[in-house]
Amino acid sequence: QESTPAAASHPLALAPVAAPPASVDGFVREFLRNLNFERGVALSSSAPNDRYMALAYTVRDYLMARWLEDQARQRELQAKGVCYLSAEYLLGRQLDNNLLAARLTEVATEAMVACGIDIDELRQQEVEPGLGNGGLGRLAACFIDSLATMSVPSIGYGIRYEYGIFRQTFVDGQQVEQPDAWLTLGSPWEFPHPEAAQKIFFGGHTEKTTDEQGVETTTWVPGWHVLAVPYNYMVPGYHNGRVNTLRLWRAVASNAFDLRIFNSGDYEEAVRAQTFAENISKVLYPEDSTPQGKELRLQQQYFFVAASIADFLDHQLSADFDLENLPERVIFQLNDTHPVIAVPEFMRVLVDERGMEWDAAWAITQKCFAYTCHTLLPEALEVWPVDLLGRLLPRHLEIIYRINEEFLLEVRERFGDDELRIRNMSIISENPRSVRMAYLATVAGAKVNGVAELHSQLLREKVLPDFDEFYPGKFTNVTNGVTPRRFVRLANPGLAGLITEALGAGWTVDLERLRGLEAFAEDPEFRVKFAEVKRANKRILSDVLRERDGFVLNEDHLLDVMVKRLHEYKRQMLKLLHIVTEYEGIVSGRVEASSVQPRTFIFGAKAAPGYAMAKRIIHLINAVGSVVNDDPRVEGRLKVLFPPNYNVTLAERVIPAADLSEQISLAGKEASGTGNMKFALNGALTIGTDDGANVEIRELVGDDNFFLFGMTEPEVEALWAKGYKPAEFYQADSGLRRAIDLIASGAFSDGDRSVFEPVVSNLLYDDRFMVLADYSSYIAEQAKVDAAYGDQDAWTRASILNVARTGFFSSDRSIRDYIDRIWHTPPIL
Ligand code: AZC
């Protein structure tokens, strides 16, 4: 607990911190003070990075009083709050978001003008913290924004990776990864607190001792440790004067190096331990949905959850807090299986360190944790080999065994000696013996939720049916959402202005108000203005892509966008077959070029570095792009653009400009999707399968305003059951045959048929994600898209209705659902 120093008798020391005056002059003065005193440079000799840093410090200064106040208030109130545990936070740039939250955008812009500075140039200086892979990490970032905006007592815990998601480049059309050195110039948004470091132990062995009363206690004798140093980030709420905290941990060696070895001249050996320790928070694992079971990854997971639990107990709880009351004070939300090792860690702390009885500790644990599952892919459910876990965390393995033993006893009591069921439900799986982290989370969690209605249903019915039967009422759904502050207000100021003009302010924190736009969809004048905004957004994107990648974007084209991680289940391949079909149609002369609706296809996608098929597909997209873009026969009709290194910053420019949103995963594979929500909210129409949150989007916007195609999940199941033979679909559809044959012929690889042969044979003989089965229906639906785009006014109307009817997808609504169904943490006033 923070104590007031005895000497703090000066009135200034006792007064609360004050924000600088919210005037242009006040801002200029604070900015120059920061430039001079924090950066040590004069305005006249400052570099753009100095000016960006000083601007960021100035924004911080305005938020500081509220931040300090909120930290004090959360400690004082001891109200129930959320600890959001997530290995990823894909934050995006902070400057604009924080200016907006603090109502400083105008003042700061004018202040920069007064200093002769172009604030846009400073915006470009910020390297976005890419501390996440994709949907899961970006969801965590949206959630902490909503938690702050809704004044929910909460703290986000995670890892301060020194290198975030890799920077993608293309060399001859193939992905090459570069390290994301986002910290090279320093981040102005973080506050390191080395004095609050936690010691985190690993390895070693356990010892059992029995006292006179015969009570057995276990002690963990660890083999090594590292320091976890917290870095705090401000999470300002939107226009509510609240500032929450995101606390990210960095691994630091407790001894810089061994001086004895250093003096003996073996410099490498002397720093070895340091390098080893600091590797823990060095780099984000770039696997999205398909984790590799690497020891370092388990070290990362344990490192951050152990630090977070200790931090919560040491620093967030009042000194006299009775641990029995923890369930009324905190809920730890597990963002997928990555933080699930927190469960045995929490038990270890309560039982071994705080001396609580096992049963009492377990009862508390089962109330203090809840688990969100983000996937249906079996390969994405993390398992840890018992020998690895036992070597790294021997005490935790014992705890997991005991949890499992007692759990399976309960199962036997309920269902008898049904050995098959017991084997299926065991937290430990055999051959190879490993710990099923999703099962551990399900057993420990007060609630388990999926991230869209369909996903939650399939989770109960297909992935964890025995658990659903065993724990009635444990499973629930919370459909994902996205923050309207970043993804409408900031990303699409044109649309935001139009909405405010039509509906007044207030929609940014009450997104269901967008319903009011339905009436405006019938107003021809409004439609004209709405279409103008879309066009202006295309112009902005065009400038960005020219500057960034040297691309030329035709603003008259239908802009057809597929941006998301590259994964076979998401089916970028299906999109590509559509493009090749269109191209082949024109160059073969079967289709008159002038009859084709001009389209530009934009892709954005990173592939996990070890995912060979995904990388081949990236190569193929680029190869098709370069042939199509260079062929005069399709000039002005088809264009394929694949800007490298898709990230949050680029998403904020691409999404508001899009006409068509591609959400074409195989039904039953995409848990939710959140890009799909961002597009709809920005007025793109969706072409999509009956999958994830697409289902809910279509229900809300209506069949007439959504392009549905493809098999449903039960149809997919039926086709598998019957025996899926992709080659039959190839034989049956001449368009499909021509497209695949063209790729196989080497038309996109200078005649070399071997380059894309693995992609082609994968489609013809394996096709796990049934691309060929959905091809005809996709092509037919795309023809409807072309026809619909022909009537611009009708398209605009549908586009407005998409905006009007998707207010449900605000992450504020998701957080409200979490509060009602899982957390029971009312906002504080
Ligand atoms: C993703 C899901 O694939 C995506 O459908 C969902 O919208 C998102 O989470 C947020 O819930 N999952 C992941 O990124 N990663 C894992 C391990 O599932």
Q: What are 518's two structure tokens? A: 């339905």
What band does 5 get if pLDDT is binned at 50, 70 and 90?
Answer: low
> Residue 795: enclosing H or E segment and its boundaries?
helix 792-805
| Mean model confidence pLDDT for the chain | 96
Strand-pairing partners, residue 199, are 227
6 pLDDT tier (thresholds 50, 70, 90): low
Peptide bond into 432 cis (omega under 30): yes
Q: Which ligand 1 atom lies nearest to the CA of residue 134?
A: 14
Is the CATH number 3.40.50.300 carried by domain 78-93+128-478?
no
Q: Is residue 423 flagged as an active site residue?
A: no
String of b and e for 368-390 (b: at least 16 CB within 10 Å)? bbbbbbbbbeeebbbbbebebbb
Mean pLDDT of 356-382: 96
One-letter amino acid at 278 equals: E
534 part of the active site: no
Active site residue 674: yes
690 phi/psi in degrees, rounded to 5: -80, 75
Selecting among 599, 678, 698, 813, the annotated active-site residue is 678
In tens, the pLDDT along 559-591 reads 999 999 999 999 999 999 999 999 999 999 999
Backbone angles phi, psi at 185, to 5 degrees: -95, 5
Residue 270 clears pLDDT 90, i.e. is over it: no
Q: Inform me whether the pLDDT recorded for 3 exceeds 60.
A: no
Q: Where are the beta strands (DSSP E) in 605-644?
A: 638-641
At residue 481, the pLDDT reads: 98
Catalytic residue among 564, 575, 698, 797: 564
What are the structural domain ranges in the chain?
Answer: 21-77+101-127, 78-93+128-478, 484-816
Beta bridge partners of 477: 450
239 is catalytic: no
The residues facing 435 across adjacent strands are 384, 428
Provide the token pair at 115: 């200093």
- Which atom of ligand 1 is the closest one to the Cα of 377? 18
Mean pLDDT of 325-337: 98
Q: Could you tell me the two tokens for 38?
A: 């924090």
Query: What is the maximum span of the chain, computed from C-alpha positions, in angstroms?
Result: 93
Q: Which residue type does 438 have?
A: A
722 as an active site residue: the answer is no
- Residue 13, pLDDT > 50, answer yes
Cα 516 to its chain centre, rounded Å, is 30
Ligand 1 atom with the shortest distance to the CA of 373: 18
- For residue 441, pLDDT over 80 is answered with yes
Q: What percentage of residues in the chain have a pLDDT greater than 90? A: 91
Which protein residues are within 6 Å of ligand 1, measured from CB? 134-136, 139, 288-289, 336, 374-375, 380, 451, 480, 670-674, 692
Q: What is the mean pLDDT of residues 37-57?
A: 98
Q: What is the C-alpha separation between 228 and 343, in angstroms, rounded?
A: 19
Rounding to the nearest 10 degrees, give the CA dihedral for residues 628, 631, 637, 641.
Answer: 40
The yes or no reply on domain 484-816 and CATH 3.40.50.2000 is: yes
Label each residue of 585-614 as H, E or C. Answer: HHHCCCCCHHHCCCEEEEEECCCCCCCHHH
pLDDT in tens, 643-694: 999 999 999 999 999 999 999 999 999 999 999 999 999 999 999 999 999 9
**pLDDT reading at 263 higher than 60:** yes
Distance CA 645, CA 305 (A): 30
Mutate to test the pocket of ligand 1, among 131, 133, 136 (most ligand atoms within 8 A of CB): 136
| Amino acid, res. 262 | F
The H-or-E segment that residue 234 falls in is: strand 224-236
**Least confidently predicted of 190-194, 273-277, 407-411:** 273-277
Q: How many CB atoms within 10 Å of residue 576?
A: 25
Two tokens, residue 16: 């609360």
The per-residue pLDDT for range 117-142, each reduced to its tens digit, is 999 999 999 999 999 999 999 999 99
Residue with tokens 């967008």: 514
CATH topology match: 78-93+128-478 vs 484-816: yes
Query: Do 665 and 569 meet the contact criterion of CB atoms below 8 Å apart?
Result: yes
Q: Hey, CA dihedral for 316, 322, 323, 327, is it positive or negative?
A: negative
Active-site choice (674, 689, 796, 806): 674
Please state which of the ranges 226-235, 258-267, 614-623, 640-649 shows the lowest mean pLDDT: 258-267
Residue 4: per-residue pLDDT: 55
570 in active site: yes
pLDDT of residue 1: 43
Q: How far is CA 150 from the centre of its chain?
A: 20
Residues of 400-428 as b/e, b for ≥16 C-beta within 10 angstroms?
Answer: bbebbeebbeebeeeeeeeeebbeebbbb
Per-residue DSSP letter, 352:
I
The more confident residue out of 766 and 380 is: 766
Report the pLDDT averaged over residues 771-778.
98
Distance, in Å, from the CA atom of 335 to the CA atom of 84, rounded to the nearest integer, reads 7
Q: Would you say 507 and 500 are in contact if contact means Cβ atoms under 8 Å apart?
A: yes
Per annotation, catalytic residue among 80, 374, 396, 639: 374
